[in-house]
Structure 1
Amino acid sequence: MTRWTPDPTFYPSPREAVTAPAEKLAYVAAFDRTATRPDAIVVLDTDPDSPDYGRVVGWTDLPYVGDELHHFGWNACSSALCPTAPHPHVERRYLIVPGLRSSRIHVLDTQPDPRQPQIVRVIGAEELAKRAGYSRPHTVHCGPDGIYLSALGGADGAEGPGGIAILDHTTFEVRGAWEADRGPQFLAYDVWWHLTQDVLVTSEWGTPSMIEDGIIGELLLGRRYGHAIHFWDLAKRRHVQRVDLGDQYQMPLELRPAHDPTKSYGFVGVVISVEDLSASIWLWHRDGDAWAVTKIIDIPAEPADPANLPDLLKPFGAVPPLVTDIDLSVDDRFLYVSCWGTGELRQYDVSDPLHPVQTGSVHLGGIVRRTAHPSAPDEALAGGPQMVEVSRDGRRVYVSNSLYGAWDDQFYPDGVGAWLAKLDVDVDAGGLTPDERFFPHGEEFRGLRVHQTRLQGGDASSDSYCYP
């Protein structure tokens, strides 16, 4: 649908986005690990003045089974206000929801009732393969000229290369592959950009066979998973530079560029080092005419009794942090780092990006700790803070606990459960506090696992801006 005036949830600059009204709903991707029931988009009430605060208030089952919903996003966002955008009047109305295992893409309309999104289209795996040459869609980002969809696999059973497909903002048709010249890039994961600088950045995980049945120890120790990020000419769709972090740093996943469009830096989280099981955060930045990366945070593994560890970790006698998501507040001040293995969410002040300072930490779950939520102190939690979402004003952080079905089962073999927590942020001094009123978990999700959260009206990881 096309509007005659810009969507009121679009903001030209991050400074204005920070003043946006608080979200009243959150949309959550939930999936059935057994693939015998449909996955669902679950709607949570996030209005603290509502009698339903912290509860499930909407539920939309998908039409098929076996999707394993992953990173979903909006059809349009603040990037539509960029001066080169050909679609400045689209609405932030539709959720684009990929199934990582099925390669299906679901389009859900959040109007007229935002609590009951309706499925309006399903793009089959065959259309994605035929028109873009890709499979296993992973991450959705709303760009100024279309919907960018990263994919891990190739078409017709090909392991790769993975890459980016483009969908139309309004018809949702698959336009084709984004890349005109991919250079040495083969593995794929996340995609982000510096819009005003015509720079696109991608990261690496693995091909479908490398990830769909869990982490493969031989490949990990053989340093075969991704360990580089790639820089592209956004306008020409051409690969410019590959920057290798070093093959001991396996799986640089989530990319978080500065929201300020005048800045030329961003953060990438590395899941694990094969040398010591640590995790790390790296900063990409300009180095003359080229790009460089600098490691700015090391998070060490924690020693543990092998008897308390899953089989994969017993030989090491330690719990790796397993940084599986990071998120950057809209004002570019706080970076949030999820340590899914140790069950910790860390907050860093990154006002000086090269010299971060830790300002907060909350433990929930963890492979060994199993830290309970304050509202249910007798319930040991499995899983840990995994996907992270930050409100536009930076005052609320939402975390969900499932990573990916097969990986959940490896690291939490007794079950990962299902929970989602909200943390309140001290935006002046830093620090995080769990909200005891907001902890949907267990049977509230009807036996499904919960992966990612999107906030009504936008959030810190869905929008990008062209004005400072």
Structure 2
Amino acid sequence: MQLNRLTGAAALAVCLLGWIAPPALADETCNSPYLSNLIKGQEDFVYVWTLGVPGMGDGSDKLVTLDANPKSTTFGKVVAQVSVGGRGEAHHAGFTDDRRFLWAGGLDDSKIYVFDIHTDPGKPRLVNTIADFAKRSGLVGPHTFYALPGRMLIGALSNTKDGGGATGMALYNNKGEFIQKYDMPATKGGDGYGYDLAVNPARNAMLSSSFTGKKNYMTPLGTLIKDQGAMKQFGNTMVVWNLKAMQPEQVLSVPGAPLEIRWSLKEGDDWAITATALTSKLWLVKKDAKGQWQAKDVATIGDPAKTPLPVDISMRADGKGLWVNTFMDGTTRYFDLSNPEAPRQTYAKQTGAQVNMISQSWDGKRIYVSSSLLANWDKAGKDNEQFVKLFAWDGKALNEQWKVDFTQLKLGRPHHMKFGSRTGQQAAWTMEPPRVAGR
């Protein structure tokens, strides 16, 4: 298949029509369904995309590798770190579809770093730096890195024109070559804002969510929340896209900055869920009886009056439960999703003075929590805890297994986490025959 001769939506249509995601075997539950070489058991490593702090160590953003295998002599320890030579507000990262490379971006400098994680999974190498993302796309703040067959779709947060929330997505091939830009809809109810991306190949659907622009996310949180005008510049929509055509089909009203999107992976399910940062709600996205996608407020997270600030969510592989981290109160909550129309909080634990990202193993027995949100939004003083923690989950309580103190080790502010395996990333990528899990 001569994919590199095609561009834009045509290439995507060929890829997506001819290759439906293989059934997931194991791994994090939030990855693109197009990933191959999935981890089939215990993860060996956690890759942590980490913000540099002036005067701390080398001060650079870096990819830090933690040993996550309990049989290892270095379990819970740092085994590698790769600095990128500057600070660009390290934020999110994502694997290519063959799982051989990890792309990671900076929200401030808009640089993208590509790490080789298959040659030696325990010692990633920086092999490419894409420095012209903003120039080529007109977008700023590469946030979500979402693998498509032979491609990487990157959702951004802002733009080069005014640093506001109007933004879009950029499509690259796996070699790091820019292909095409897609604007977020700003008419017919769209506000033009962007944040996360999530694909359901079986429904030919992609969802995008919305946050805020660079002028806001680079402003100290204390200053931002006092600026009434700035606080009005947050996204209030989600967009349903025709995946093969890469065209927006429907704009959903979801007030309060909907962030991470998680599709249920349970066979037969066709719904997704998100959390709104500013209004502290869980929203269900599902088709109604007429076949139209609808967004519905289905649960409250903590006390919205206290602005707990939901930041990251992680859904169980069977779609029956959801973990939610709230930054301001440092709490990790579990919601029973047996009925996604009415989620119920059944457990909560303060896991830090501030917590942000949460990643769970496919079997749901291990929960990883990191602490940093944004350099200018993290807390100060004694509450400025910077860590990655591993918890064991027995269905009743979270029990801490280890903690890596990134401040003590002079590593910086840990943000996004992705799992690695000593054996799960060795095979070369191959095109699998078309198939749809559960059909």
Q: TM-score range by the shorter chain?
A: 0.7 to 0.9
Equivalent position of 1:357 in the other structure = 344
1:432 to 387, 397, 409: 397
- In the TM superposition, residue 72 of structure 1 has moved relative to its aligned partner by 0.4
**Cα displacement string for residues 420-449 of structure 1 (whole angstroms, at most 9, x for unaligned residues):** 1112122xxx3332233x111144541401
Give the equivalent residue in structure 2 for 1:333. 320
Partner of residue 388 from structure 1, selected from 336, 339, 358: 358
Residues 396-411 of structure 1: pairs in structure 2 closer than 5 A: 396-409=366-379
* Contact persistence 1:258–1:332 (CA under 8 A): yes
Shift of 1:221: 8.3
Higher relative contact order (CA 8 A, sep 6+): 2
State the partner residue of 1:251. 257
Moved over 6 A (4+): 16-19
Partner of 1:150 in structure 2? 155
2:295 aligned partner, one-letter code: V
Can you list the C-alpha shifts for 1:83-136, whole angstroms capped at 9, x where unaligned? xxxxxxxx3111101011110000010132222211111000xx2234322121
Contact 1:205 1:226 in 2 (8 A): yes
1:197 aligned residue (189, 195, 203): 203
Name the counterpart of 2:427. Answer: none
Q: Is the 8 A contact 2:164 2:212 kept in 1?
A: no
| Partner of residue 134, structure 1 | 139
Identity of aligned residues (%): 24
Which residue of structure 2 aligns with residue 28 of structure 1? 48
| Pair 1:112 & 2:119 matched | yes
* Corresponding residue of 2:296: 294
1:348-386 C-alpha deviation (Å, 9 max, x unpaired): 2213211223333221223xxxxxxxxxxxxxxxx23x1
Relative to structure 1, the CA distance from residue 241 to residue 70 in structure 2 (aligned partners, 3 Å threshold; closer, same or farther) is same
- Letter matched to residue 358 of structure 2: V
Cα drift, residue 58 of structure 1: 0.8
In structure 1, the gaps of 5 or more residues are 1-9, 77-90, 274-278, 303-317, 367-382, 459-464
How far is the alpha carbon of 1:330 from its aligned partner? 1.8
* SS of residue matched to 1:129: helix
Q: Aligned partner of 2:179: which letter?
A: R
TM-score, scaled relative to structure 1? 0.77
3-state secondary structure, aligned to 1:226: coil
CA shift in 2, pair 1:221/1:149, >3 Å: closer
Question: How far has the Cα of 1:453 moved from its partner?
Answer: 0.7
Match of residue 90 from structure 2: 69
Does the aligned pair in 1 maintain the 2:366–2:392 contact within 8 Å? yes
What is the CA–CA distance in structure 2 between the aligned matches of 1:187 and 1:444, rounded to whole Å? 37
**Alignment-derived partner of residue 266 in structure 1:** 272
Structure 1 CA distance for aligned equivalents of residues 406 and 128 of structure 2:
30
Task: State the Cα distance separating 1:150 from its structure 2 match.
Answer: 0.7
Aligned amino acid, residue 172 of structure 1: G
Is the Cα contact below 8 Å between 2:299 and 2:344 reproduced in 1? Answer: no
Query: Is 1:421 equivalent to 2:423 in the alignment?
Result: no
* TM-score normalised by the chain length of structure 2: 0.82
Give the match's secondary structure for 2:75: coil
Instruction: For 1:138 and 1:405, locate their aligned partners in 2 and report how far apart those are by CA, in whole Å.
Output: 15
Secondary structure (helix, strand or coil) at the match of 2:216 reads helix
For 1:321, what is the secondary structure of its paired residue? coil
Q: Which amino acid aligns with 1:42?
A: V
Counterpart secondary structure, 1:210: helix
1:175 pairs with one of 165, 176, 179: 179
Asked if residue 58 in structure 1 is aligned to residue 61 in structure 2, the reply is no
Q: Tell me by how many angstroms 1:296 deviates.
A: 1.6
In the alignment, does 2:101 pair up with 1:94? yes
Q: Quick one: distance in 2 between partners of 1:260 and 1:106?
A: 33
What's the offset of the Cα at 1:160?
5.2
Distance 2:88 2:230 in 1: 30
- Kept in 2, the 8 Å contact 1:219–1:225? The answer is no
Separation in structure 2 between the aligned mates of residue 49 and residue 425 of structure 1, nearest angstrom: 18
Amino acid at match of 1:351: S
Query: What amino acid is aligned across from residue 26 of structure 1 in structure 2?
Result: V
Counterparts in 2 of 1:205 and 1:22: CA distance versus 1, 3 Å: same
- 2: CA distance between counterparts of 1:182 and 1:174? 23
Distance 1:442 1:66 in 2: 16
Work out the CA distance in 2 between the residues paired with 1:49 and 1:280.
40
Alpha-carbon distance in 1 for matches of 2:148, 2:105: 17
When residues 137 and 222 of structure 1 are mapped into structure 2, their CA distance, relative to the original with a 3 A threshold, is: closer
1:156 offset after TM fit, Å? 5.2
Per-residue CA deviations over 1:177-214 (Å, capped at 9, x if unaligned) read 14597753411111112112111111111111122113
Q: Which runs of 5+ in 2 are unaligned?
A: 1-19, 30-38, 425-434
Rounded to whole Å, the distance in 1 between the matches of 2:334 and 2:251 is 29
For the 8 Å contact 1:73–1:97, the answer to whether it is kept is yes
Q: Structure 2 vs 1, CA of residues 162 and 24 (structure 1 numbering), >3 Å: closer, same or farther?
A: same
Q: CA 1:161/1:44 → structure 2, altered by over 3 Å: closer, same or farther?
A: same
- Please, what is the CA RMSD of the aligned residues? 2.6
- What letter is aligned with 1:96? W
**2:211, 2:257 within 8 Å by CA — same for their partners in 1?**
yes
3-state DSSP of counterpart to 1:272: coil
Query: For residue 33 of structure 2, what is the aligned residue in structure 1?
Result: none
CA contact (8 A) 1:179 1:238 kept: no
Does the residue aligned with 1:229 lie in a helix, a strand or coil? Answer: strand
Letter in 1 for 2:390: K
CA-to-partner distance for each residue in 1:152-185, whole Å, 9 max, x for gaps? Answer: 122355535211111212x121212145977534
User: 1:66 Cα deviation (Å)?
Assistant: 2.0
Partner of 1:344: 331
Q: Deviations over 1:370-412 (max 9, x none)?
A: xxxxxxxxxxxxx23x101111222111010111111114xx4
Secondary structure of 2:328's match?
A: coil
Q: Match of 2:219?
A: 213
Please give the alpha-carbon distance, in whole angstroms, between the structure 2 residues aligned to 1:180 and 1:334: 30
| 3-state SS of 2:377 partner | helix
Compared with structure 1, are the counterparts of its residues 185 and 195 closer, same or farther at alpha carbon in structure 2 (3 Å cutoff)?
farther
Per-residue CA distance 1:63-86 (angstroms, 9 max, x = gap) = x3121210101011xxxxxxxxxx
